[in-house]
Structure formats: structure tokens, C-alpha cells
């Protein structure tokens, strides 16, 4: 890694609450290899909030950052209550002073978005992303309460409330985890019915040792690629205002732009997580790989965020092509795929030097988007050009 220069964190995930009021059966926090949530405080304490805010401001000043994103996360972050949300937002803004602007977003399952909570989020200008996996049947396959009831109806009520004029400016979008048993177009249409400004379609977490559902490592079949292709064609053929970040990222990369999305391209990863106990960690998705795979050994009381930039896991995701497996470096799609999500490359006991377990699916999607877009460009060219 000769000549490597770390880049600063421009996104910070603050884990306000370490528990959840749903019991989603695919949850990367509770249902996979890392069970460190069991020993963490339920709620981020005032001491951790203050220390985290100071570290965020310190990092911004050190690097001359004028704007950064702060994501309130969990568990279910809204379980912490509006007072804790207000405390975190206030602490970070006070610590930053006029040195940098902070853009706040909460990622929530939505069931606690009643009017008092929404009014609090309006007061503190906190944008809202909501997790939803489609219509009632699709969503309630996995996203259930601990007693077994599905969550769709409650989330639908919250989303309809969020779409009201007084709250709509907070609405960031929907996050959907794919289940290939669900019809892709039915899922897409169900999500569109809630008029999200943007949509994330996420591959369920898995790796070479613990494969995701319906994906056999090395099998040339492409169930997830096929699912995504069906949605892409609908999205591409019927343009409307909802952005799908996976697709727009691939389009941008194909046309020579940047990715802006963790699961595609070679852009350096620029975010860090702070847990309820003040631990500084990497991506939560690494909790699906191995116990403590996300850990750095650092905390906000004793360590600056800059120290996390030296962690091998962070460096591996900032060095671009050099950080990928040899198979990936030789692949013609590497600049678009970027090796796939880092957590999906894992093979026990501790090897990330692999292509993503979704390699075949990603090639299927990328090749399809490339062929469709280039065909569109060719048709748009004046006669005799190209």
C-alpha cells in the first residue's frame, strides 16, 4: 500500500439504542455471528453522547470537513425516545459550532413514528429513512414483532403520516431487503405506493461460509440478479421521481461517474460507527461475518476517530483496486462491481480476499444494465454517428 493516504470519515453512525421492538429473522445485529449487543448498554448515555460529539467535531476540524452526515441508528433508535434524539443532535451541533454543518438522518423500522415523535424530528431537522420489504405478505415474511405478528400495517400507518405536508420534507426513502420468493414487481409497486423519494434494494447479508438464502456459493444461477433485473427494467422503462440507489450508482459508474454507494464501485468507504457504549466500530454488516469482526478496539473516551483510519479493515476499503482479490482485479466489471459489499466477501476464519458471494448475480445485473443503456445511447445517436 505504498503511497496510501487515508481519507476522513464523512458519515458517522450513532447507535442510540442497542435493542429493537421487532424481531426480524434476518437482522444483522441480532441473528448472526456477532452477539456483542447482549453486553452493550441499551441506550447511549449522556457521557457517551458528549464524548462522541467531541470526537466527531475533532475529526471535522482536523480534516477541514465543512459538512458531514450523522445517522441515528440501532437496534431501533427511536426506542431511545425524543429526549435522547434531541440530546444527540444538540450535542453534535454544539460541538461542531460553526466549523461544519451536520445533516441528521434516522434509520427506523417506522412503528414509533407517531405525531409526537415526528414533531420532535421536525424540530431538530432529522430526516427519516424507513425499512419496509414490500406489501403486507412480502414484508411480514421477516419483519415481525417478537410475538409473531407482522409489522406492515403499523408501518403503513406511519408512512402515510410521514407523507403529510407538515412532515413530508423529512421523508428520505425506503430500505428493502430482497427475498427472491417475493415477486419483484409486486414488491416494487408496493414500495412505490408510499411515494418514497429514494429506495434501497439490499441483498440479504451472507458470505462464503454462511451463504445467503437461495444462493449456493459458486452456483452460476443468478436468482438475485434476475430479481433485480426485473425491477430495473420497470424502473428504466417508466421513469418517475423515485431513485433506486443501486441502479443509479451502476448507471453513474458505466458513464464514467462516481458510485456514492457502498456495494458498488471503488470509492473509498468514508463512514464509522459509534456503539451505545462508545466503542468505535466498522460497518454493522461485518457482524454477519464473525464475532467482533466490526470491532476496532477503540472507543470515544480514549481514542480519536483518526485512529480508526489506520485499522486494517478500514484501510482495505479505502485503497481501491489494490484491496480486492486477484480474481476481482482481473474482472472486466471490477470498476462497476468494486468487488461487491465487503461483508459478502468473507470466508472463515478471517479471509476477505475473495469476490462477493453474489458475484454471479452482480455480473448479471451489471451486464444487463450496460447492454440496455448502451442500446439506448446508440438509438439516440444521430444517423451515421457511432
* Cβ–Cβ under 8 Å, residues 44 and 79: no
* Cβ–Cβ under 8 Å, residues 366 and 250: yes
The answer, yes or no, to whether residue 1 has pLDDT greater than 80, is no
* Cβ–Cβ under 8 Å, residues 314 and 55: no
Averaged pLDDT, 198-215:
96
Averaged pLDDT, 205-228:
95
Q: Which letter does DSSP use for residue 211 in this model? A: P
The SS3 call for residue 106 is strand
Q: Among candidates 129, 136, 278, 142, which has minimal Cα distance to 213?
A: 142
* Cβ–Cβ under 8 Å, residues 293 and 314: no
Q: Which residues pair with 278 in a beta bridge?
A: none
The SS3 call for residue 8 is coil
* Cβ–Cβ under 8 Å, residues 231 and 184: yes
pLDDT of residue 88: 98
Q: Which residue has the higher pLDDT, 152 or 261?
A: 152
The SS3 call for residue 234 is helix
C-alpha cell at 3: 503511497
Q: Among candidates 278, 232, 238, 224, which has minimal Cα distance to 48?
A: 278
d(CA 271, CA 284): 11
63-118 per-position pLDDT tens digit: 999 999 999 999 999 999 999 999 999 999 999 998 899 999 999 999 999 999 99
The answer, yes or no, to whether residue 4 has pLDDT greater than 80, is no
* Cβ–Cβ under 8 Å, residues 68 and 56: yes
pLDDT of residue 385: 53
The answer, yes or no, to whether residue 208 has pLDDT greater than 90, is yes
Place of cell 479493515: 313
d(CA 135, CA 193): 9
Place of cell 457511432: 386
The answer, yes or no, to whether residue 3 has pLDDT greater than 60, is no
Averaged pLDDT, 364-369:
98
Place of cell 403503513: 156
Domain at 11-374: CATH code: 3.20.20.70
Q: Residues of the chain with pLDDT > 90: what percent?
A: 89
Pairing of strands 279-281, 126-131: unpaired
pLDDT of residue 384: 58
297-355 per-position pLDDT tens digit: 999 999 999 999 999 989 988 998 999 999 999 999 999 999 999 999 999 999 999 99
Averaged pLDDT, 243-268:
93
C-alpha cell at 21: 421492538
DSSP state letters, 51-98: HHHHHHHHHHHHHT--EEEEEEESSSGGGG-HHHHHHHHHHHHHHHTT
Pairing of strands 279-281, 271-274: antiparallel
How wide is the angle at C-alpha 212 spanned by C-alphas 207 and 289, nearest 5°? 35
φ and ψ at residue 219, rounded to 5 degrees: -70, 130
Q: Among candidates 337, 313, 351, 341, which has minimal Cα distance to 6?
A: 313
d(CA 376, CA 297): 50
Averaged pLDDT, 267-285:
95
C-alpha cell at 245: 440507489
Q: Among candidates 47, 50, 112, which has minimal Cα distance to 75?
A: 112
User: What sign has the CA pseudo-torsion 189, 194, 198, 201?
Assistant: negative
Amino acid at each position: 500500500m505504498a503511497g496510501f493516504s487515508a481519507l476522513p470519515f464523512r458519515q458517522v453512525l450513532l447507535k442510540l439504542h442497542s435493542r429493537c421492538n421487532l424481531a426480524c429473522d434476518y437482522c444483522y445485529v441480532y441473528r448472526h455471528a456477532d452477539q456483542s449487543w447482549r453486553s452493550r448498554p441499551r441506550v447511549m448515555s449522556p457521557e457517551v453522547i458528549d464524548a462522541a460529539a467531541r470526537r466527531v467535531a475533532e475529526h471535522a476540524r482536523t480534516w477541514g470537513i465543512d459538512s458531514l452526515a450523522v445517522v441515528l441508528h440501532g437496534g431501533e433508535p427511536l426506542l431511545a425516545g425524543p429526549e435522547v434524539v434531541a440530546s444527540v443532535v444538540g450535542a453534535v451541533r454544539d460541538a461542531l459550532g460553526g466549523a461544519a454543518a451536520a445533516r441528521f438522518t434516522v434509520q427506523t423500522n417506522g412503528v414509533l413514528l407517531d405525531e409526537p415523535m415526528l414533531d420532535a424530528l421536525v424540530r431538530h431537522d432529522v430526516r427519516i429513512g424507513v425499512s419496509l420489504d414490500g406489501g403486507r405478505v412480502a414484508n411480514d415474511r421477516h419483519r415481525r414483532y417478537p410475538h409473531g405478528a407482522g409489522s406492515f400495517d403499523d408501518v403503513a400507518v406511519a408512512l402515510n403520516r410521514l407523507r403529510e405536508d407538515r412532515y413530508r420534507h423529512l421523508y428520505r426513502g425506503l430500505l428493502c431487503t430482497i427475498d427472491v420468493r417475493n415477486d419483484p414487481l409486486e414488491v416494487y409497486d408496493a414500495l412505490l405506493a408510499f411515494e418514497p423519494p429514494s429506495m434501497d434494494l439490499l441483498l440479504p447479508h451472507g458470505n462464503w461460509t454462511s451463504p445467503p438464502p437461495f444462493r449456493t456459493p459458486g452456483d452460476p444461477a443468478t436468482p438475485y440478479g434476475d430479481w433485480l433485473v426485473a425491477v430495473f427494467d420497470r424502473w428504466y422503462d417508466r421513469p418517475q421521481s423515485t431513485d433506486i440507489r443501486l441502479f443509479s450508482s451502476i448507471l453513474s459508474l458505466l458513464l464514467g461517474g462516481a458510485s456514492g454507494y457502498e456495494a458498488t464501485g471503488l470509492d473509498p468507504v468514508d463512514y464509522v460507527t459509534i456503539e451505545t457504549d462508545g466503542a468505535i466500530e466498522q460497518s454493522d454488516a461485518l457482524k454477519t461475518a464473525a464475532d467482533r469482526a466490526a470491532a476496532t478496539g477503540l472507543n470515544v473516551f480514549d481514542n480519536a476517530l483518526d485512529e480508526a483510519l489506520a485499522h486494517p479493515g478500514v484501510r482495505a476499503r479505502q485503497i481501491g483496486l489494490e484491496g480486492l482479490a486477484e480474481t476481482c482485479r482481473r474482472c472486466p466489471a471490477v470498476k462497476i462491481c468494486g468487488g461487491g459489499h465487503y461483508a459478502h466477501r468473507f470466508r472463515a476464519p478471517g479471509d476477505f480476499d475473495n469476490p462477493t458471494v453474489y458475484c454471479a448475480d452482480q455480473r448479471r445485473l451489471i451486464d444487463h444494465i450496460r447492454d440496455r443503456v448502451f442500446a439506448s445511447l446508440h438509438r439516440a445517436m444521430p444517423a451515421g454517428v457511432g
